[in-house]
Structure 1
């Protein structure tokens, strides 16, 4: 139960901040946001505040911000369509009923001749006396259809009406907020738990390993590996991991004396990759400093962004197997493991997941934020946008392919953890 709660809190927070980025920059650009949703599928909770519907939905695998004009959400009143309208004190249409039967004595019925609910904001049609009448439509007019209420979106409030830079920023802001969230999580870890000093001092040497055979002892400070000066433990482990099966020389300082040891790291295979390992353990010491915590937040965020991009590069070149990818099931199991090591390990895991979510969304694939940004780049070069129907079809195909990938990854997770 604790794992379920931790998973929901972590994943829900990552999705919330991602969508919050889209939401805030859309509002800043003057775009109407119709819905801010956490999750997919049927609504569990819905609250309307002004022009935006805030919802929590049953499937906690993502979320979305629905902006006016993005998904062909405008209503087109065709000639001959019978509608009911209600006027305000300024004789502007404030309510439009598309239902056949309307229980409202103030409704005026029209047979539409022409209408524009986006740019010119008017309805023209024949009233019940057969007279042709024309009404201006209020910018806050509401359309009622089958129990649903939809606020009209004047063109200047629609996504496509905004400059290219504003549209691109509204899309890029989602991944950006994931990176910002990661920075603040790492910052919180640094402030509350302290910053690991990362000194290259051995805490323990495991028996029957290359380090043990070479004579390493607890308390040894690593000074050099094959002539490379070592200042940090992370630097030392990075060098060792890159030299599986290669003979190396390690200089250590012991009781003020420099000793040189020769060893060959064992080869460890993880996710199809080979890594070197010599059999030493590290026991970090921590220090608390607000300034260093800020630096830690920034450097950890940049380091993890770099690492994830490197892994993606390995995936593209075939050095990293797709079988090693994880979906919701894998993330859940990993969260379960991280929770066993305490709150700070869980926070670190959340920060890494947030960066991962941001980078995945920036991939130039249809239906993802990166795919949409790619269309914006094409628009900037070409000088005009891609046809909406063609772009929509590309994104639809992308969604289908992503769904297939999700099924494959989830099946791999199930086989890995339950069979």
Structure 2
């Protein structure tokens, strides 16, 4: 049960933060954000605030912010349509009833001759009662009513396509950016809780009954060389010791400026079928605010580089598709991590947040990176790519991504039962 709660929290947080970035910068650019969704498929919860419908959907495979103008508008009115109109106190149309007009007895029933809800915001129509021609102004916040559901109209200046390439690019990039920021915040928070590891081979603690205790090493000692070989980092120290179980080592330490040499034999320890050496020492951690904050950025950078290298190996064929994990595989890995403690779970969440940011920036259709690629073409050409052609590319890309998701999920399920 703990794993289920942890997975829902983790998935919801990562998607929420990502889509929140898109939402915030859409609103800052004056775009009309119609829906903020976590998940895909049927709605299981919805709440409307101001212009935006907030929904939670059934399938936990992502989320989206639906901005007016990114896709063709849901409702399209053409000459000859019969619609109902309701007016505000200034004589402007504030409700356009598309169907079920009998449910709105106070509406004026008209036949559309011409309607412009992008630029001029006018309706040219015939009054079916008097057969007179009228032109009505439409309020900028007028509502479509179809199947008794209300939808705001989107004047052109509120649509995605009306914005500059830089505004569109920032709005699209904001989602992955928020994932990187979340990881930085998590690593900084973890640093303040448990400190951050120092790069040098400084000893932070000694296990009782260990070779290090027998050799009278103490907290604060810094290993500078072993068997005459310089040790510059903690990883240098760990790897040297692990490769030499049951071998006597001449370890030179710096203790408050004095160099002391100790003879120590690492005890043999079997880990995942491999025998390694260990001395029974723990790494030193620091808690100074400057180091903690810097660690949040450097840790995020280091993990970003590792993930990008892994993606490169996938592209070049050095890693197979079997190395990928979908929701089932991530759930299984989360189950393992949850058993090791809350701080490890937060570290895992931060790593997945970085992964989500990088994957979304890949130049693939339907992903943020693919959309940024089209926005870049717009900036170079001085005009946008034909929306219908771009829509087809994104649709095909989304279908292929769903197919990949099915394959990866099937592989995850097979691994669970192997």
TM (norm. structure 2) is: 0.86
- Work out whether residues 326 and 410 of structure 1, in 8 Å CA contact, stay in contact via their aligned partners in 2: yes
Q: Establish whether residue 175 from structure 1 lines up as the match of residue 179 from structure 2.
A: no
Counterpart Cα distance in 2 of 1:240 and 1:94: 76
1:337-356 correspondence to structure 2 within 5 Å: 337-356=336-355
Counterpart Cα distance in 1 of 2:40 and 2:229: 52
Q: Indicate the larger mover: 175-184 or 35-44.
A: 35-44
Counterpart Cα distance in 2 of 1:218 and 1:4: 46
Structure 1 regions of 5+ residues with no counterpart? 206-211, 245-249, 262-267, 270-275
Equivalent residue, structure 2, for 1:310: 309
Q: Indicate the larger mover: 73-82 or 63-72.
A: 73-82
Equivalent residue, structure 2, for 1:78: 78
- Work out whether residues 76 and 117 of structure 1, in 8 Å CA contact, stay in contact via their aligned partners in 2: no
The 3-state SS of whatever aligns with 2:309 is helix
1:404-415 correspondence to structure 2 within 5 Å: 404-415=403-414
What value does the CA root-mean-square deviation take over the aligned residues?
3.0
Counterpart Cα distance in 1 of 2:416 and 2:206: 31
1:181-196 correspondence to structure 2 within 5 Å: 181-196=182-197
- Work out whether residues 223 and 251 of structure 1, in 8 Å CA contact, stay in contact via their aligned partners in 2: no
User: Aligned pair in 2 of structure 1 residues 230, 160: CA closer, same or farther (>3 Å)?
Assistant: farther
Counterpart Cα distance in 2 of 1:201 and 1:277: 24
Q: Establish whether residue 165 from structure 1 lines up as the match of residue 166 from structure 2.
A: yes
Counterpart Cα distance in 2 of 1:199 and 1:56: 47
Q: Establish whether residue 256 from structure 1 lines up as the match of residue 283 from structure 2.
A: no
The 3-state SS of whatever aligns with 1:102 is helix
1:320-331 correspondence to structure 2 within 5 Å: 320-331=319-330
1:224-373 correspondence to structure 2 within 5 Å: 229-234=230-235, 252-253=251-252, 256-257=260-261, 279-280=277-278, 283-373=282-372
- Work out whether residues 100 and 148 of structure 2, in 8 Å CA contact, stay in contact via their aligned partners in 1: no
Aligned length: 391
Equivalent residue, structure 2, for 1:121: 121
Equivalent residue, structure 2, for 1:378: 377
Q: Indicate the larger mover: 182-191 or 69-78.
A: 69-78
- Work out whether residues 36 and 54 of structure 1, in 8 Å CA contact, stay in contact via their aligned partners in 2: yes
Q: Tell me the alpha carbon deviations over residues 189-215 of structure 1, each in whole angstroms, 9 at most, x when there is no partner.
A: 00112112354369999xxxxxx9xxx
TM (norm. structure 1) is: 0.85
Counterpart Cα distance in 1 of 2:275 and 2:102: 76
- Work out whether residues 39 and 56 of structure 2, in 8 Å CA contact, stay in contact via their aligned partners in 1: yes
User: Aligned pair in 2 of structure 1 residues 305, 238: CA closer, same or farther (>3 Å)?
Assistant: farther
Q: Indicate the larger mover: 409-418 or 179-188.
A: 409-418
- Work out whether residues 241 and 277 of structure 2, in 8 Å CA contact, stay in contact via their aligned partners in 1: no
Q: Tell me the alpha carbon deviations over residues 61-103 of structure 1, each in whole angstroms, 9 at most, x when there is no partner.
A: 2111110111112533211110000011111100000114422
Shift of residue 223, structure 1, vs aligned partner: 4.3
Structure 2 regions of 5+ residues with no counterpart? 244-248, 254-258, 266-271
1:214-229 correspondence to structure 2 within 5 Å: 223=224, 229=230
